[in-house]
């Protein structure tokens, strides 16, 4: 036995030495090969920071990446190079260089680098975004330009866009009426996402999922698209370090394969559904993009394959939903910070259209100031700060430097849009620059790309943005929820952060500077925010939180600290309620830490309900944001309380510590009783589903429900 142990020990040592030796030799060969390849053949590579072994310059990439690359450009110049693992990268932050690259060298730079997401989710690089430049891509581009994004096709779906905007206006009108004579606080982000999502979905398939029909199918489809958007808009270390693929790092490739299979199944079912409706001569399945492409498939099946149709549909969903919604949110946030601009835009609408009808798409060309607001929003807040990467099909020159074939080329649109040599006072939101400046100034906006690979859907996007923003300005008076300006700094959704940083621990102890501790479970909640789904109640009591307050968490991965800001019902930060809390990993435990809360067994699940919407079956309904930067904006953030108001014939019941789906009896001082059940109602609002009619008739009063320390319901 001892001999065997010694044998295995010795073997392990020898084996380890062999592995280390091979690794060192391989690394030295790799370094020597790189020097030979990039120094001997390319004497004039762009400057850049020195790479470290294996990682290259990946360790320098801090979020937001476009700001990190901008800082590097300040040191190394407008064209510089990096190493991302085994891949050579060139970053361009000069408008003049970009213009030359995508005019004279347009064909050379018309290729895309290959990432795993494009292989497994993008139909093996066969969609219009990821396909290599050539005859197949040119055919896809022709189909997109003529059959999807032509003026004729866009005009055909004008009624859909108009109807979705009217749906938005109706919802906002109902919200504003509930506020009575006072202004009503609204959350625009989910409403804008719903609008843009349904715009695309109805044009493509004739369905209205999000916020509309087919609840189960809608939930499945939205969750699937959220995963696809997340996979499409982020990269993974596996894309730059091939060795990680061999060891199945974090199961990334397997996850992509499963996601691709699920996506393909859903899209194929969508196509088959339209085929059946055509065979049944169903009049409801007419004039959608899928129907149009299927009709073309009958005459040219070699071009219009099912895979090609599915690829086009997938790109429409990924590129056409969150992008427009986020741009609209940035625009509204800036208008709330600049009432003078908002007033001028309203005056233009009143002068050109009047108050007898709503704005229409045909009005957009004459609304120059409104268009300038949109251009200025796209300039300051491009939804893709780094344009989709290009890769040269042969060796070329960029900005006077040698750039080898297959280099990943990034264009930092965010930096170019804030270049002081190109724009006066570049960080100021000033639509006047497009009104009084040169007519071609808008052409310097890079949001939709340049050259042959530019986005063909820019015309559709401008119509959606113009009609929606114009309608919001025309129909409602807007103001901030507090005097303090909205914080316009960027927030990267946690779903994106976790691809580049360490995963946030789930079971943790939150400890403040006074030594107080809260045992909590941290999870991603609706909208990509971080939620405390266990232990939040004692935390709320210690911090003197009230119904309607909400918290924002900013995680600093370098020192494992959360910065917690607490906002009041009015959306203003509560002075003195900002703290830094340390995070400690905790083992799984069943213990409930709810000190100060009566009857913890009864309220065991309420913490999850407050920070997460739940449908009637008890299943959580979560939604991820895409990997786009959004304003750090309390005006649009869901509060703890406001989504859980009980609407009783126009009156509001606020829930503090009542578990939903709970039977209870309301008592008055005279002993009269009203049995009620608190449950989920329409549109995910809380509702008193029985007994409320009698209670309302007997009292006809505003009602506030809370729970006292004696476990009694106080009305």
Rounded to an integer, what distance in angstroms lies between the CA atom of residue 304 and that of residue 317?
Answer: 19
Enclosing H/E stretch for 250: none
Residues 675, 679, 684: CA angle, nearest 5 degrees = 150
HSE (side-chain half, CA atoms, 13 Å) at 582: 10
Question: Is the CB of residue 625 less than 8 Å from the CB of residue 498?
Answer: no
Q: Print burial letters for 152-174: b (CB count within 10 Å at least 16), e (below 16).
A: ebbeebeebbbebbebbbebbee
Rounded to an integer, what distance in angstroms lies between the CA atom of residue 676 and that of residue 344?
Answer: 51
Mention every residue, 6+ apart, whose C-beta is less than 8 A from residue 338: 429
Q: Print burial letters for 452-471: b (CB count within 10 Å at least 16), e (below 16).
A: ebebbbeebbbbbbbbbbbb
Instruction: Please choose, from the candidates 304, 315, 318, the residue with its C-alpha nearest in 3D space to the C-alpha of residue 275.
Output: 304
Rounded to an integer, what distance in angstroms lies between the CA atom of residue 171 and that of residue 177?
Answer: 10
β-bridge partners, 93: none
Instruction: Please choose, from the candidates 316, 375, 357, 393, the residue with its C-alpha nearest in 3D space to the C-alpha of residue 105.
Output: 393
Task: Tally Cβ neighbours within 10 Å of residue 506.
Answer: 15
β-bridge partners, 79: 92
Q: Pairing mode, if any, of strands 408-411 and 87-92? A: parallel
Mention every residue, 6+ apart, whose C-beta is less than 8 A from residue 513: 579, 580
Q: What are the Cα distances from residue 455, in Å, to 141, 375, 384, 458, 483?
A: 10, 16, 12, 6, 39
531 SS3 class: strand
User: Is 396 known as a binding-site position?
Assistant: no
693 SS3 class: helix
Q: Print burial letters for 243-267: b (CB count within 10 Å at least 16), e (below 16).
A: ebeeeeeeebbeebeebbebbbebb
Mention every residue, 6+ apart, whose C-beta is less than 8 A from residue 304: 143, 293, 294, 296, 297
Distance of CA 585 to the CA centre of its chain: 28
Question: Is the CB of residue 374 less than 8 Å from the CB of residue 463?
Answer: no
552 SS3 class: strand
Q: Where are the beta strands (DSSP E) in 385-448?
A: 396-398, 401-403, 408-411
Rounded to an integer, what distance in angstroms lies between the CA atom of residue 588 and that of residue 605?
Answer: 17
Instruction: Please choose, from the candidates 322, 319, 445, the residue with its C-alpha nearest in 3D space to the C-alpha of residue 376.
Output: 445
Cis peptide before 265 (omega within 30 of 0): no
Burial label, 697 (beta-carbon count in 10 A; 0-12, 13-18, 19+): exposed
Angle, helix 188-205 to helix 322-337, in steps of 10 degrees? 150
Rounded to an integer, what distance in angstroms lies between the CA atom of residue 650 and that of residue 667?
Answer: 22
362 SS3 class: helix
Enclosing H/E stretch for 373: helix 368-380
Task: Tally Cβ neighbours within 10 Å of residue 577.
Answer: 16
Q: Which residues are annotated as a binding site for heme?
A: 455
């Amino acid at each position: 036995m001892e001999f065997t142990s010694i044998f295995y020990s010795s073997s392990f040592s020898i084996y380890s030495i062999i592995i280390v030796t091979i690794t060192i030799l391989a690394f030295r060969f790799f370094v020597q090969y790189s020097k030979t390849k990039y120094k001997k053949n390319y004497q004039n590579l762009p400057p850049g920071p020195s790479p470290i072994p294996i990682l290259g310059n990946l360790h320098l990439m801090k979020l937001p990446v476009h700001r990190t690359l901008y800082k590097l450009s300040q040191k190394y110049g407008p064209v510089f190079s990096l190493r991302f693992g085994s891949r050579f990268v060139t970053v361009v932050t000069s408008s003049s260089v970009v213009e030359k690259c995508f005019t004279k060298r347009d064909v050379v730079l018309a290729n895309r680098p290959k990432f795993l997401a494009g292989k497994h989710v993008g139909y093996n690089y066969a969609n219009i975004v990821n396909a290599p430049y050539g005859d197949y891509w040119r055919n896809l581009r022709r189909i997109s330009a003529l059959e999807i994004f032509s003026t004729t096709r866009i005009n055909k779906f004008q009624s859909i866009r108009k109807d979705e905007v009217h749906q938005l206006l109706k919802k906002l009108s109902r919200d504003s009426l509930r506020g009575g004579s006072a202004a009503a606080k609204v959350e625009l982000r989910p409403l804008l996402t719903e609008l843009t999502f349904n715009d695309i979905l109805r044009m493509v398939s004739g369905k209205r999922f999000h916020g509309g029909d087919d609840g189960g199918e809608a939930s499945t489809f939205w969750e699937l698209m959220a995963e696809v958007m997340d996979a499409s808009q982020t990269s993974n270390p596996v894309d730059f370090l091939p060795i990680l693929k061999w060891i199945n790092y974090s199961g990334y490739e397997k996850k992509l394969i499963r996601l691709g299979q699920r996506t393909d199944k859903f899209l194929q079912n969508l196509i088959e559904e339209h085929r059946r409706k055509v065979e049944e001569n169903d009049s409801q399945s007419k004039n959608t993009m899928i129907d149009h492409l299927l009709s073309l498939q009958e005459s040219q099946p070699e071009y219009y394959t099912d895979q090609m149709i599915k690829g086009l549909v997938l790109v429409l969903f990924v590129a056409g939903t969150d992008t427009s919604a986020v741009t609209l949110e940035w625009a509204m946030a800036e208008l709330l910070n600049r009432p003078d601009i908002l007033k001028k835009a309203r005056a233009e609408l009143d002068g050109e259209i009047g108050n007898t009808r709503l704005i229409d798409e045909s009005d957009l060309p004459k609304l120059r100031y409104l268009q300038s607001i949109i251009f200025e929003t796209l300039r300051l807040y491009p939804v893709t700060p780094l344009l989709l990467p290009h890769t040269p099909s042969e060796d070329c020159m960029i900005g006077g430097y040698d750039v080898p074939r297959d280099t990943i080329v990034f264009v930092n649109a965010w930096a170019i849009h804030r270049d002081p040599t190109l724009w006066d006072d570049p960080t100021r939101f000033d639509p006047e620059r497009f009104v009084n400046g040169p007519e071609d100034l808008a052409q310097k906006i890079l949001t939709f790309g340049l050259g042959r690979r530019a986005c063909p859907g820019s015309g559709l996007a401008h119509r959606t943005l113009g009609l929606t923003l114009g309608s919001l300005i025309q129909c409602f008076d807007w103001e901030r929820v507090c005097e303090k300006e909205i914080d316009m700094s960027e927030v990267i959704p946690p779903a994106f952060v976790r691809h580049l940083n360490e995963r946030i621990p789930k079971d943790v102890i939150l400890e403040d500077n006074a030594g107080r501790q809260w045992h909590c479970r941290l999870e991603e909640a609706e909208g990509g925010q971080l939620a405390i789904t266990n232990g939040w109640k004692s935390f709320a009591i210690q911090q003197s939180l009230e119904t309607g307050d909400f918290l924002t968490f900013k995680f600093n991965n370098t020192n494992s600290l959360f910065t917690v800001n607490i906002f009041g019902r009015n959306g203003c930060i509560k002075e003195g309620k900002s703290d830094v809390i340390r995070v400690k990993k905790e083992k799984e435990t069943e213990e409930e830490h709810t000190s100060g809360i009566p009857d913890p067994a009864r309220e065991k699940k309420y913490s999850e309900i407050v920070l997460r919407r739940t449908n009637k079956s008890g299943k959580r309904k979560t939604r991820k944001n895409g990997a786009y930067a959004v304003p750090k904006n309390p005006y649009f953030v869901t509060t703890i309380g406001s989504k859980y108001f009980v609407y009783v014939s126009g009156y509001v019941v606020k829930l503090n510590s009542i578990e939903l789906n709970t039977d209870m009896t309301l008592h008055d001082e005279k002993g009269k009783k009203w049995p009620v059940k608190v449950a989920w109602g329409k549109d995910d609002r809380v509702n008193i589903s029985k007994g409320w009619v009698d209670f309302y008739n007997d009292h006809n009063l505003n009602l506030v429900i809370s729970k006292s320390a004696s476990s009694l319901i106080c009305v």
